[in-house]
Amino acid sequence: MTAIAPLSLSPTFAPSRRKRWSFTFAFSVIGTAVAIGFVIAMVALFAWQTVPVLQHSGSGYLTANNWHYRHELFGALSMIYGTVAVSVVAVAIAAPVGIGAAIFTSEFLPPRVRVVVKIIIELLAGIPSVVYGLIGILYLRNFVYDSFETFDLLSGDTLLTAGILLAVMILPTVMTLSDDALRGVPALQRQAARGLGLSRFGAMLHIALPQARVGLLAAVLLALGRALGEAIAVFLVVGRQDNHMPANVFSLRALLEPGQTLTSKLGGAEVNIAYGDPLHWAAIVGLGLMLLLIAGLVTIVGAWLETRGSSPSMYSGRGIKGEGRSANDSTLQLTALHKEPSPPTPSLSTRRGRIRRHRFIEGSTVTAFAFCTTIACGLMLVLIAAIFYRGGSALSWRFFTEQIRLVGADGGIFFNIVGTLILIFTALVVCTPIAMALALMQGVYFRKRAAQRLGIVLYLLNGTPSILFGLFGLIVFVKFFGWGKSWLSGGILLGIMMLPTVTVALIERIKVLPRKYIEASRGLGLSTSQTIWSVIVPQSRSGLVTGSLLGLARAAGETAPIMFTATIFAGAMFPHGITESPVLSLPYHIFVLAQDSFDPRVAEKLWGTAAALLLIVLLLSLIALPMRLRTHEEAAGA
Amino acid sequence: MLEIVREPSCCATPETITPAVLETRDLGVSIGGRAILRNVNLSIRPRQVFGIIGPSGAGKSTLLKCINRLIDLTPHAQVTGEVLFNQQSILSQSIHPDDLRARIGMLFQQPVVFPKSTYHNVIFGVKRLGLVARKDLPAAAEAALREAALWDEVKDRLHESALKLSVGQQQRLCLARSLAMQPEVILMDEPTSALDPRSTEAIEQLMTRLKERHTIVLVTHNIPQARRVCDWLACVCMNDGVGEVAETACCDQMLDNPCCQAVVEYLKAAP
Amino acid sequence: MRGWTVFAAALFAAAPMFADVLKINGSTTVNPVAAEAAEVLRAEQNMEIHIDTQGGSTGGISSLGDGLVQIGMSSRTVSDKDRQKYPSAQFTQIHIGEDAVAIVVSRDVWESGVRAVTRENVRDVFEGKIVNWKELGGADQRIVFFNREPGRGEWEVFGKWLYGDPKKVPAISYQEVGGNEETRNKVGSTRGAVTLLSSVWADGKALIALAIQDENGQAIQPNGANIASHKYPMSRPLFLLTNGAPSGEAKQFIDFVLSPRGQELVRKHGYLSLDQLVVDGK
C-alpha cells in the first residue's frame, strides 16, 4: 500500500516514502547538476584566470579610475560606475512602463486582445541586440544629442543613450513576466473581490497587485540581469570613453557624458588584443568576474526580499486543507449560536451613506496604464517599420536562397539563415531537457529552501552577460577541447543561455497548476514520477512553448556568444562534423558589415538581413499561436 | 414542454403578499453562443431563504450570478430578459454593477479567503469602499463576526493569517465579510458542499438566523438541507439541454407533493 | 557512456581531415579585398576558404602566430613586440596595397574654414592643449575628438606619426569608435568632430579629409602620389601575412591577390593598388 504523501503548504511536496530511484528523479538530478556545474565552472575558471591582475593591482583594480592597458594600469572604477548607471536608468524607465502595460493588458483587456499584445511584445524581444545598436546609432543618439542641446553634449553617445536603449530592450522581459505574475493570481480571488462590490480597478489594486508583487519583483530583477549583461547594443552607443567619472554622480549631467561599462569593454577590441598576454587577459576576464558578482548580488538581494514579503503560496479558493480541526469548531459554534443573541446593528452614524468611488482617479490611472501599453506596442511597430523600410527592398526569393557575393553587396544570405537555424535548433535540443530537469527539481522535488537556492542559480545564469558565455566557450571549447570554431559550441552556449528564460516559464506554469489534478493523480495511487509525466508535463507544455520562444528569439539574435566560438564571416556552408565546423549566422553578419562595409549597396542588404531575422522570430511566434490561444481561453474561463 | 410555475394556494399566507425584493422576467443566458438558461421567471420575497435546486449543469450557479451581475465577468456571456432588484431593473445602466454587488453579497462553494489576516478579510469590503469610518472598523468587524457566529473562535487571533482557519471557519469568514457590507440579499452557491457535516450544520443554523434581516438565495444539491432551511424552492431542470424553471413552490409543498414530472424524477434520484 | 567516448575520440581523430580549409583572419580593412578574392577562388577553383575579422590587425597576427590560420590580414607592420610574442613564427609580410589615413572632420568644421593642420596642432589637440576650433582657424566650436579603438591599424599609424612610437602615446582617454562605418556615422553627425579615418571613407559630404601642413607650410593632400613619395606621412600598408614563405593554397590565394584581377579588387574597395604607388616608392 502506497503511503499517502503528506501535502505541505508549499507547491512542492515530499516524494513518496517508498522512494525508488526513478528515472525521472535521476534525470532531474543530472540536469540540475549540469546547470549548476556550468555556473561553478564558469566562476572558477574566470576566478583562476583573474589572479595575475589582482596580484598586480590589488584593490586598485576595483577602486582606481585609471585603465590604460598599454601602460599596464588596470583600474576599473569608471566601468563599474558605468554599468550601474546604465542599468539603473534602464530599469527606472522599463519597470514602470512595463508593469503598467502588464497591468493594463492582464486586467483590463479581453483575452484575445491580450494575446495579440503579448505576441507583439515578444517580437520586440526578438530584435537582435546588434540591430538595436544600429537603430541606436542612426536615430536614438541623434535624438539625445538634439534634445539635450542646452547641456552642450560632446556627442549623442552617452550613458543616458545606452540606458534608454537598454530600457527598450528589457521592456519585453518586464512586461511578459509581470503579466505572468498577475495571471498567476487566481481568478477566484478577483471574483470574490468583485462580488463584494469592488470595481475592476479596485480588484486589481487590492487583490491582484499585492498578491503578484513577488512575481513582479522577480520580473524586474530578471530584467535588471538582462540589462547588466547586454554588451553589443551598449557597446555601440555608450561612447566607450575610459576613465571618465562625473563630478556629481547624482546629476543629470553625469548621464549625459560618454562612458564605459564592463560589458562594452568586453565587447570591444581589447579582448582580442589581450588574448595571449597573461596580465591583460587577467584584467579582462576579471571584468567578467565582476559582472558575475554584481549579478549575484542583485540575485541575493532579490531572494532575500522574496522571503521577507512572500505571501503563503497556497491561495484559498483552490484546495482542501486539513480536516482535523473541524470537530472542535462545531461544538463551539453550536454553543455560541445558542447563547448569543442577535448582535446589534452598528448604528447608522457609523455607516456612510454613499460608497466612496474614485472614478476619476481610477480612470486616469487606467488611462496611464493604457498609455504604457501603447508605448510598448508602438515602439514595436516603429522599430519594425524602420527595419523593413531600410531593408524591405532587399527581401526577395534570391535573397533567401543565394549565398553572399561581393562581400555582402550582392547575392543572398542563404547560408547565414542555415547557420542560424542550426544554432538555435541545437540550442533548443540542449536547453529543453535541462530546463525540464531544473523545473521539476524546483517545482516538485525540492523543498522550499533548496528551491530558493536553485532559484538563485537561475538568476545568476540569467544575469551572466552573453559575452562571458563567448569567453568561456573560447577557453573551453575552442582551445581546451580543441574544437576550433564549431556550430556545436555555439549551440551549447546558446542553449545554456536560454535556460533561465525557459525554466522560469516552466516553473511558473507548474506552480499554478490546480492542485486538484495532482491530488487526483496521487489519489489514484500514481507515484511522483508518473504524476509528473502524466499530469505535470502535459499541463505545463504551454510554459515550455512560451519560454522556448522567448529564449529562441533571443538566442537567434545573439552575436556575443557565437562570435568567438561558432561563426565566421564568410566561407562556411553546411557544417561537416563537429570540430572546425563553423557556420555563418545572421547576427554576426550584421555585426561585421555594420562596422566595415564600404560598398553602399551593403547597407540595404544589412537591413534586409535584420528583416530576415525578424521574420524568423515572427514565424516562431505564429507557430505557437494556436497553442497559446487555447491556454489563454482555459485560464480566462476560470 | 414543462408545466409552468404556479403557486399552490396552501402556501399563500398574508405575510407573503409583500413586494418581491428580487424578480426575474424571462431571463435567458447564453455563453459563447450556447444557451444555458431560458424563460426564468422568479419572484423572491424579502427575508426568507429561497432555495434553488436541480440537477448538475442545469444552470443554477449561472442564474445566481445573474442576480448580482457577476455574470459580466464571464467572457462571451449574453443575458436577455430582466432582473429587478427592489423593482429596479439591474440589467439596464441605471445601477452600476459595482454598487449592486455591494448590496448583494455572495458566498461561493469554495471559501475564497484573501491571504491576509482574519481582521483584514472581514473589513476588506467596507474599508475599500469607504462604507465605515476608519475608527469604527474594529467595531464593524466584531459585529460582522458575531453575526456569522465566528467571533468567539477568532477573537484572540484576529491578526493571524486567515489561511490558518479550518474550511468551515473560512466559509463563515467569507460570510462575515459579506455581512459587514450589510447587504439586503445574500447569494449562496452551494456553500456547504465543501464542508464537513458539523460545519454544514453550523452554517445552516446561521442561515435560519440571518433571514431575520436578510434575504438569502441558496443554491443547493442537498435536499435534506433544502428541507431544513428553505422557505421557498424553485427547481431548475434541463429541457432540451437548456435550463428552465420547472416549478416554484413553498418548500414542503414541492418536496412532498411535486407537480412537475421533471421535478419528480429529480427528487427520486436525489438523496 | 562508452559509446560517447568512442564517438568523441573519433571526432578528434577526424580533425586533421578538415585541415585543408584555407583560414584567413585579421584586419577589417583588408577584409573586403580578401573576401571578394575568396569568392572568386571559391567559384572558379573550388577552394574552401574561411574568412573572419576577429581582433583586427592584431588579431590577424595573433591567430597566425597561434597557428589558428594560414593567412593573417594586417594593415600595419608586424612589430618587434609581435615577434617577441611568437618567437617561433616567421612572419612574412606580402604587400598588396596601401591605404591613406586622413585627419577627417565633420562638415561644419570644414565649412568654418579649417583646411589643413600641422603635426604640432594635432598633438596639441590630442593632448588637450587646444580645445576649440577657433584656435585653428575655424569657428567657436569645441573640438570633439573621436579616438579609434585599440588594435586598429589607423591608430597605430597615428601614434607613430605623432610620437614616433605607438608605445610612447600618453595615457589619455577619449570616446572611441570602432569600424569605419560606425566612425562615418558618428563623426559625420556630431558638430566639431575630428577623427582618423581611411581617406577613401571621407566622402566629402558629411566627412572631409584635412590636408597635413608640412614644415614648409605646404598642404599635403592624402593621395596616391603623396603617399608613394612619402610626403603624406600617414599611410598604412595592407599586408597578407604567412608563417614562412607562402605555400600550397595560401600561395594560390596570395598570387591571385597580387595578379591584375586581384589588384583591381584592391582599387575597387578604395585602396591604392601597388602600381599606383609611384616607382620610387615601393
Is A348 an 8 Å CB contact of chain B? no
Among C181, C184, C189, C205, the strongest candidate for a mutation testing the A interface, having the largest count of A CBs within 10 A, is: C181
Say how far apart CA C135 and CA C115 lie, in whole Å: 13
Q: Is A275 on the interface with C (CB under 8 A)?
A: yes
Average pLDDT estimate for A554-573: 84
Inform me whether the pLDDT recorded for A580 exceeds 70: yes
Please report, for chain B, the start and end positions of each structural domain, with discontinuous segments joined by +: 9-111+184-269
Report how far residue A189's alpha carbon sits from residue B174's, in angstroms, rounded to the nearest whole number: 12
Residue of C nearest to A269 (CA): C55
Size of interface A-C (CB pairs under 8 A): 169
Q: Is the pLDDT of residue A371 over 90?
A: yes
Q: Where are the alpha helices (DSSP H) in chain B?
A: 60-67, 97-103, 118-128, 137-147, 151-154, 167-179, 197-210, 223-229, 251-256, 261-269
Instruction: Test A243 with C173 for CB contact under 8 angstroms.
Output: yes
Contacts of A271 in chain C (CB under 8 A): 55
Is chain A in touch with chain C: ≥3 Cβ pairs within 8 A?
yes
C64/C53 same-domain check: yes
Q: Is C240 a member of any domain?
A: yes
Does C169 sit within 8 Å of A240, measured CB to CB? no
What's the first-to-final CA gap in chain B, in angstroms?
Answer: 26
Give the pLDDT confidence of A148-175 residue by residue, as tens digits.
988 888 889 999 999 999 999 999 889 9
**Is A356 near chain B, with CB under 8 Å?**
yes
List all residues 6 or more positions away from C81 whose beta carbon is below 8 Å from its beta carbon.
Answer: none
Residues of A in contact with C166 (CB under 8 A): 70
Q: pLDDT at position A482, please?
A: 84
Please give the residue range of the domain that contains residue C256: 22-98+236-276
Question: Which tens digits make up the pLDDT trace of A527-541?
Answer: 777 877 887 888 788
Return d(Cα B77, Cα A110) in angstroms, integer.
13
pTM of the model: 0.80
User: Do residues A434 and A35 touch, judged by C-beta distance below 8 A?
Assistant: yes
Question: Confidence class of residue A400 from pLDDT cuts 50, 70 and 90?
Answer: confident
Q: Do C58 and C38 share a structural domain?
A: yes
* Burial of B214 (C-beta count, 10 Å sphere; 0-12/13-18/19+): buried
**A577 band by pLDDT with thresholds 50, 70 and 90:** confident
Interface check for A19 against chain C (CB to CB < 8 A): the answer is no
**Is the pair A, B in contact (3+ CB pairs within 8 Å)?**
yes
Facing A351 at nearest CB: one of B100, B132, B161: B132
Query: Is A355–B206 a contact, with Cβ atoms under 8 angstroms apart?
Result: no
Q: What is the CATH number of the domain that holds C150?
A: 3.40.190.10
Write down the pLDDT at residue A329: 37
Q: 538563485: which residue's cell?
A: A456
**Cβ contact A256:A151 at 8 Å:** yes
Task: List the single residue in A194, A327, A352 with the smallest CB-CB distance to B73.
Answer: A194
Instruction: Answer whether C68 sits within 8 Å of A484, measured CB to CB.
Output: yes
Q: Which chain A residues in 143-202 lie under 8 Å from chain C, judged by CB atoms?
A: 145, 152, 154-157
pLDDT in tens, A351-365: 444 566 678 888 899
What pLDDT is stored for residue A303 in this prediction? 62
Interface test mutation site (partner B, options A213, A323, A350, max chain B beta carbons within 10 A): A350
| Bridge partner list, B106 | B187
The CA distance from A384 to A389, in Å, is 8
C108 reaches A (C-beta below 8 A): no
CB contact under 8 A, C176 and A564: no
User: Are C114 and C210 within one domain?
Assistant: yes
Which chain A residue has its CA at the smallest distance from C18's CA? Answer: A580
ipTM for this model: 0.88
Q: How far is A114 from chain B (nearest CA, A)?
A: 13
CA distance A172 to chain B (A): 27
**Three cell numbers, residue C122:** 594635432
Chain position carrying cell 402556501: B11
CA distance A248 to chain C (A): 19
Q: Do C36 and A407 touch (CB under 8 A)?
A: yes
pLDDT reported for residue A189? 93
Q: Are residues C105 and C181 in the same domain?
A: yes
- Strand, helix or coil at A388? helix
Q: How far is A522 from chain B (nearest CA, A)?
A: 20
C219 and C105 in a common domain: yes
Q: Is B167's CB within 8 Å of A194's CB?
A: no
Minimal-distance CA residue of chain B relative to A346: B140
Q: Coil, strand, or helix at residue C257?
A: helix
Q: Is residue C257 in some structural domain?
A: yes
Decide if C8 is inside a domain.
no
Tell me which residues of chain A, numbers 547 to 576, contact chain C at a CB-CB cutoff of 8 Å: 563-564, 568-572, 576
In words, the CATH class of domain B9-111+184-269 is alpha beta
Does A637 lie at the interface with B, CB-CB under 8 angstroms?
yes
Whether residue C105 is contained in a domain is answered as yes
* Cross-chain residue pair C151–A275, CB shorter than 8 Å: no
Are B11 and B30 in contact, with CB atoms under 8 Å apart? no
A464, pLDDT greater than 80: no
How far is residue A598's CA from residue C198's CA, in Å, rounded to a whole number? 11
Task: Decide if C106 touches A, using CB distance below 8 A.
Answer: no
C151/C252 same-domain check:
no
Position A307, amino acid: T
Torsion region of C113: left, alpha or beta (phi above 0 gives left; psi -120 to 50 gives alpha)? left
Q: How far is C263 from chain A (nearest CA, A)?
A: 15
What pLDDT, in 10s, does the model give residues C192-226? 999 999 887 888 888 999 999 888 888 888 877 78
The H or E element that residue A38 is part of is helix A23-57
- Give the percent of chain A with pLDDT over 70: 84
Compute how many other C-beta atoms are within 10 angstroms of the C-beta atom of residue C21: 19
Do C134 and C83 lie in one domain? The reply is: no
Q: Contact partners of A by the rule of 3+ C-beta pairs under 8 A? A: B, C
Chain C segment 207-266 residues within 8 A of A by beta carbon are none
Question: Using CB atoms and an 8 Å cut-off, which of residues 72-131 of chain A contact chain B?
Answer: 110-111
Judging contact as 3 or more Cβ pairs under 8 Å, the answer for C and B is no
Structural domain count, chain C: 2
Q: Is A30 on the interface with C (CB under 8 A)?
A: no
- Predicted confidence at residue C9, as pLDDT, reads 47
Q: Are A513 and A536 in contact (CB under 8 A)?
A: yes
Contacts with C185 from chain A: Cβ below 8 Å: 137-138
Residue C282 lies inside a defined structural domain of this protein: no
Judge if C148 and C77 occupy the same domain. no
- B51: exposed, middle or buried (C-beta count within 10 Å: 0-12, 13-18, 19+)? buried
The mean pLDDT value for A199-224 works out to 88
- Answer whether A484 sits within 8 Å of C38, measured CB to CB: no
The three cell numbers of residue A278 are: 597573461
Under DSSP, the state recorded for B180 is T
Nearest CA of chain A to the CA of B56: how many Å? Answer: 18
Which of B70, B111, B168 shows the shortest C-beta gap to A329? B168
What is the mean pLDDT of the segment spanning C159-168? 88
pLDDT tens for residues C20-68? 789 999 888 888 899 889 989 988 988 889 888 877 788 889 889 888 8
Sign of CA dihedral C198, C204, C207, C210: positive
Q: Between chains, do C15 and A482 touch, taking CB under 8 Å as contact?
A: yes
pLDDT-derived band at A264, boundaries 50, 70, 90: very high
Predicted pLDDT at A343: 45
Q: Are C152 and A269 an interchain contact pair (Cβ–Cβ within 8 Å)? A: yes
DSSP result, A344-357: PPPPGGGB-SS---
Residue partners of B209: CB distance under 8 A and separation at least 6: A337, A342
- Position C11 in a domain: no
**CA C279 – CA C282 distance, rounded (Å):** 7
In a domain, C7, yes or no: no
Give domain status of residue C173, yes or no.
Answer: yes
Query: How many angstroms separate the CA of residue B25 from the nearest CA in chain A?
Result: 23
How confident is the prediction for chain A on average, in pLDDT?
80
> Is A236 touching C (CB cutoff 8 A)?
yes
Instruction: Pick from A270, A580, A591, A606 the residue to mutate for testing the C interface (most C CBs within 10 Å).
Output: A580
Using one digit for the tens of pLDDT, what is the confidence trace for A283-327?
A: 998 998 898 888 777 767 766 665 554 433 333 333 222 222 333
Q: Which residue in the set C31, C190, C201 is minimally distant from A155, CB to CB? A: C190
Give the distance from residue A215's alpha carbon to the nearest chain B alpha carbon, in angstroms: 16
| Residue C128 sits in the same domain as residue C202 | yes
Contact A241 C28 (CB under 8 A): no
Binding-face residues of A in 88-147 toward C, CB within 8 A: 137-138, 141-142, 145
CA A72 from chain centre, in angstroms, equals 37
